[in-house]
Amino acid sequence: MTRTKQRGATAHTSQPSRSTARSMMVAGMLAGAAFLPALAHAQSAPATPAAEVAQPGAAPDIVVTAQRREQKLKDVGIAITVLSKEDIRALNITTATDVVRAIPNLRFNAYAASQVVFNMRGVAQNSYGDEQEPPVAVYQDDSYSSSMSTAGFPIFDLARAEALRGPQGTLFGRNATGGAIQFISTQPTDKTAGFLSLTYGRFNETIVEGALQGRLAKDLDVRVSGIYDRDDGYIKNLVPGQYNRGQNNHWALRSIFKWTPSSDFTAKLTLRYTESDHERQVAGYALDPSCPNAQFQGESLPANQVCGYWAAYSGNTPGAMGTGFDGVINGKSIVPARGGSPWQIAATGNPGIDRQFFGSTLRIDAKLGAFDVTSVTDYQYLNKFNNEIGDSQPEFAYVQGATYTPGPCPGIASITCYAPGTIFNQNNRTNQVSEELRAATTIGSNYLVFGAFAMSIESHFRAQYATPFDQYDPQVVFYQQTKSFAFFAQDEFKVNDQWKLILGARYWHDHKIGCYTGHEYWSGFNVRYCPDTVGFSYDAAPPFPGGAATTASTGGMITATTADTHPSFSGLTVRAEIDYKPSANTLIYASYNRGSKSGGFSFSTGTPAALAVYDTINGIKFNPEVLNDFEVGIKTSLPGHSSLNIVGYYYDYHNYQAFVQVGYTQEIRNLQAKAKGIEAEFSTHPIVGLTVNLTGSWEESHVPNVLLPDGATLVQHDLPQAPHWSGNALVRYEFPLAGGMASVQADSMYQSHMCFTLLCAPVEQEAAYHVENMRIGFTPKDTNVDLAVYVNNIFERAYRNYAYDGSLYSGATQSLYARPRTWGVNVRYHF
């Protein structure tokens, strides 16, 4: 999310049309439900005897598809963490971002479920512009999520989740610089089976999940599953009559049809639909008054200090934000830095997210002579409207062009309302089509995979980042089209039973077109960056006029040209690896992986002014980044049903896509960066029923020549969200009880100090923290019912998932705190 403004409406608050998405949804639902009559008379499987219920023992070999085929985890020379369906259920994982609780060196940054960026080993993208593709590739089965708006989705009915750390530029390819995360659904079989799960918890959280599968016709199996998740919100609003925030309100469906007419041919159609209906996860910020320091970076503002930068707007009120609000309502502080609760706000307005997503994937696997051929055809449609109204404080309703004087809130005379602090919204309509065709064959001691990939993404955006209280009110509209193709090949040459050599390469090519227009209401400023015109003008009547643009009104020079609005990018990614197996239970590997992420545009949600015009326009286009990764690792089985995986890595970046800020202008600039680290994973089952999983990581990173917002100071910082130390621990014990099976589980995660952004403003630094969770489960004898109770964040640690230095824009730091202590009960019936 780039926010650019000048010192000195919701631009489009109508809800986007849902007709297209809803018609697709209905089609998918009807298709998925078509088999229900055929199963209506099927008998449920008999109750599972207690002796057969989850009898604990040594963990079986874990199967992964990290190299586009099924292999044992211990035989793959890649740093991989796998969560089984049992792990996912035991850890209460219901959204894609929950997986960070169990995967080393994986974090996420999100101000809402509709805008999620995964961070792996510090590789991330801190720009929240909807036009950006994340550097950690996220897959739902075979479907690649090109948008940050689709990277966070409900988790339900999964077979497993795989996290591949490090560049995966050969077989996965597309923007997998930091790695890839695969969420793999439970697949249908001919056996009639299913489950229904009900969860109720704190904040009236209600989650309903279920699945049903069986044979629809000869050789045709189907599985339909879904989830509904709603609660009242965990961020309490102290203003009478106003909604709480941080609320889930979404549902999703998935249908998988699998046709297997012969052992040499399988066709599988997967239909997915997700909808959020005014989900109040946005604008749930804890606000800390902050003041720009000498480098224009935010520092917390004490209650007795006046911020000179905002004095004109705060009326010289000590401790106030730019709008004059002092952070106290009804005698309660909502400023965490002053002892207030991070889970309380005092806000008016009704912000929310409306999101509709439809996906359709057709996968065909066929045996053609000596080749195993796979075709994956994927289509995705996204319609998202994200609307943040206000700064989490009492404010008057926004009216474009209005002036405001603090006074009683309409209908709430006991509360003082202020001018609207921030208006932020994003509208994204995206269509994505892709095709991958690959073949695999064994030739002597070689296992060869080769293929081609093509994708088209077309997106239309509207956005606004306005601060009406200081008369800054822009509206922007932009368009982006990406057409991409790639060719790849990888060969595994088995020298003998101990040695294996892997070589792979991928050539990719992107052609992008961008068109961006913006208009600021008060100044009449217009900017255009399109194939027909690059420039700006001052004209009180938008839209931006065609033809030549004014570039001399404020001095400076525009170096960007119309050719920059439709660039082409190409690159070559490679993989070279040597595997050595001194025994059947040990793998030692050394690899070189070269990953890359395409170039693109950094389109602001606001408009610049003065000399920032030139920095903004000239800095819109950025080049591809390349990451050279050198790794050595060992995977070994130990006595006592134990395993140990250790990997060391060294990262050397070229043209790292750094999200930086120069004055009021935020953009992506290409810098250099380096990182190195060690990761370890240990798992043991020393006695029947006991599982202990431990992970730990150390990382050191450096990004030199980071230009701070003052436009003059250069510093060296760590990669964003890259703590030096982090780790996870889980202990689970399963044992017979009262004829059934009981389980007790505790897990914990820890990370040391880190910064949310590369700029690392004082207010964007997060201190070290640890979080603990617990779950107790029981399966009664001779039943198909599983019972569980859980508590998450037992000690109610206050830690942030997101922090944004808004000191230059609204005089406050916006922080989104993770959920406080939550508890719940779960009942699951399966047959």
Pull the structure tokens for residue 512.
């992008």
d(CA 346, CA 394): 6
Question: Which pLDDT value is given to residue 718?
Answer: 95
Which residues, 6 or more positions from 308, have their beta carbon under 8 angstroms from its beta carbon? Answer: 291
CA 802 to mean position of chain CA atoms: 12
d(CA 292, CA 299): 6
Pull the structure tokens for residue 735.
């044992």
Question: Which pLDDT value is given to residue 17?
Answer: 44
Does pTM top 0.85 for this prediction?
yes
Given the structure tokens 């224009």, which residue do they identify?
A: 296
Which residues, 6 or more positions from 236, have their beta carbon under 8 angstroms from its beta carbon? Answer: 244, 341, 343, 344, 345
pLDDT in tens, 217-236: 999 999 999 999 999 999 99
Q: How many Cβ atoms are within 10 Å of 18's Cβ, its own excluded?
A: 15
Mean pLDDT of successive 10-residue segments in the chain (831 residues)?
A: 44 41 42 38 37 42 74 85 88 83 82 77 81 87 86 88 89 82 93 97 97 96 97 92 92 97 97 94 83 91 79 61 56 80 89 94 96 97 89 83 88 86 90 96 95 96 88 92 96 95 96 95 92 85 40 63 96 96 95 94 83 84 94 94 95 91 78 95 94 95 92 92 95 94 96 94 96 96 94 96 86 90 97 93
Parallel/antiparallel/unpaired status of strands 249-262 and 265-279: antiparallel
Which residues, 6 or more positions from 169, have their beta carbon under 8 angstroms from its beta carbon? Answer: 176, 177, 506, 573, 574, 575, 593, 594, 595, 596
Question: Which pLDDT value is given to residue 324?
Answer: 43
For the chain, the residue count is 831
| DSSP-assigned states of every residue in 26-84 | HHHHHHHHTTHHHHTTPPPPPPPPGGGSS---SPPPPEE-TTSS-EEGGG--SEEEEEE
pLDDT in tens, 668-685: 889 999 999 999 999 999
Question: Which pLDDT value is given to residue 130?
Answer: 82
Cis peptide before 543 (omega within 30 of 0): yes
Question: Which pLDDT value is given to residue 335?
Answer: 84
DSSP classification of residue 342: T
Given the structure tokens 């240990």, which residue do they identify?
A: 682
Which residues, 6 or more positions from 176, have their beta carbon under 8 angstroms from its beta carbon? Answer: 135, 136, 137, 164, 167, 168, 169, 595
